[in-house]
């Protein structure tokens, strides 16, 4: 629709033809949303399917839709629009997680526990301080996605197959209609750039790394030997033969799925590493990896929000744990130093 409006504005097609194509495209969209359209592999991809339906409905006028564009710049635009939407959704889940970790931290500001280095008891901290550490990580994750979204906010429409088009199109106009900051500046790069997907997937991998670290601690701290926290039954399972068991399955699955998202990132990096300019068919391999990474991260974030929200903090056990391991030794050393003894 944005492309058709651009063609009509620059009088490459008539105003009447432009209005008819746009009206029919809107009708096709409504038919798709009602589940009335069956796509066919005969026409290779989604773009050709929609063009075929358009031509079936309005005849030769529909063939004017493809003037001055290629499936290369079409798919590049589609992926950027899709990625922009998905980044916003993931950011909304991150905001929820920041909120629940912060709330749990504020609630336990004076719940004391041992802090660890090398998984050895080190110094006393509060459970609130511990939770705020993860809030900070998730804030950085949010900002990382924000930066990626800003860098990719340019429209490749008008790059055509690789060398632009001889038609006097207005790329600023179509970029604005599509909600981009502006058009991409180089047509070769416009159709063959997948950096933005790699950058988002890198951000998603870091999110999963943070969730995995958190999961590891949830698994350890909810174990019998620690008993610092207790997971809700909703995020745990029993054993098939051991009736006393309460397994932290949700945390374990999130930890496991981290490797899957890393794999998606590495798959796309490996696909892109030897591709010459401009577009090559290898690039369609970006879809499956990106879709999988996005779906996995959204699922894990949703689970994590619920898991943290229902987490029970055992403050008495935490306080008791502070009695072992000489965790105030540093404070004693500092006290003696202030009294005149060398550190």
The C-alpha atoms of residue 143 and residue 156 are separated, in whole angstroms, by 24
Which entry of 205, 239, 240, 342 is annotated as an active-site residue?
239
Burial 230-242 (b: 16+ CB within 10 A, else e): bbeeebbeeeeee
Helix (H), strand (E), coil (C) string for the chain = CHHHHHHHHCCCCCHHHHHHHHHHHHHHHHHHHCCCCCCCHHHCCHHHHHHHHHHHHHHHHHHHHHCCCCHHHHHHHHHHHHHHHHHHHHHHHHHHHHHHHHHHHHHCCCCEEEEEECCEEEEEEEHHHHHHHHHHHHHHHHHHHHHHHHHCCEECCCCCCCCCCCCCCCHHHHHHHCCCCEECCCHHHHHHCCHHHHHHHHHHHHHHHHHHHHHHHHHHHCCCCCCCEECCHHHCECCCCCCCCCECHHHHHHHHHHHHHHHHHHHHHHHHCCCCCCCCHHHHHHHHHHHHHHHHHHHHHHHHHHHHHCCEECHHHHHHHCCCCCCCHHHHHHHHHHCCCCC
Structure-block tokens of residue 108:
């336990």
Classify residue 229 as left (phi > 0), alpha (psi -120 to 50) or beta. beta
Active site residue 239: yes
Which entry of 66, 92, 118, 135 is annotated as an active-site residue?
118
The C-alpha atoms of residue 235 and residue 307 are separated, in whole angstroms, by 6
Catalytic residue list = 118, 239
């Amino acid at each position: 629709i944005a492309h058709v409006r651009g063609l009509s504005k620059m009088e490459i097609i008539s105003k009447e033809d432009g209005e008819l194509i746009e009206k029919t495209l809107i009708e096709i969209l409504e038919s798709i949303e009602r589940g009335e359209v069956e796509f066919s592999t005969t026409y290779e991809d989604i773009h050709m399917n929609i063009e075929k339906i358009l031509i079936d409905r309005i005849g030769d006028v529909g063939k004017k839709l493809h003037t001055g564009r290629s499936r290369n710049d079409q798919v590049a635009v589609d992926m950027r629009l899709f990625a922009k939407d998905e980044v916003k959704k993931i950011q909304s889940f991150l905001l929820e997680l920041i909120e629940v970790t912060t709330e749990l931290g504020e609630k336990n500001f004076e719940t004391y526990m041992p802090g660890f280095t090398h998984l050895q008891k080190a110094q006393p901290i509060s459970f609130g301080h511990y939770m705020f550490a993860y809030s900070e990580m998730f804030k950085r994750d949010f900002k990382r996605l924000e930066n990626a979204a800003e860098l990719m906010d340019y429209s490749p429409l008008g790059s055509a197959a690789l060398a632009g088009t001889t038609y006097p199109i207005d790329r600023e106009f179509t970029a604005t209609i599509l909600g981009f900051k502006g058009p991409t500046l180089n047509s070769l790069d416009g159709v063959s750039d997948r950096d933005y997907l790699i950058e988002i997937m890198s951000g998603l991998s870091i999110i999963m790394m943070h969730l995995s670290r958190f999961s590891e601690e949830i698994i350890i701290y909810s174990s019998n030997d620690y008993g610092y926290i207790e997971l809700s039954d909703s995020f745990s399972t029993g054993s098939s033969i051991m009736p006393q068991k309460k397994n932290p399955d949700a945390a374990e699955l999130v930890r496991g799925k981290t490797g899957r998202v890393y794999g998606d990132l590495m798959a796309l990096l490996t696909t892109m590493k030897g591709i010459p300019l401009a577009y090559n068919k290898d690039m369609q391999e970006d879809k499956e990896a990106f879709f999988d990474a996005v779906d996995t991260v959204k699922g894990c974030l949703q689970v994590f929000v619920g898991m943290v929200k229902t987490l029970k903090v055992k403050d008495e056990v935490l306080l008791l744990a502070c009695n072992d391991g000489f965790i105030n030794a540093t404070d004693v050393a500092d006290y003696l130093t202030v009294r005149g003894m060398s550190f």
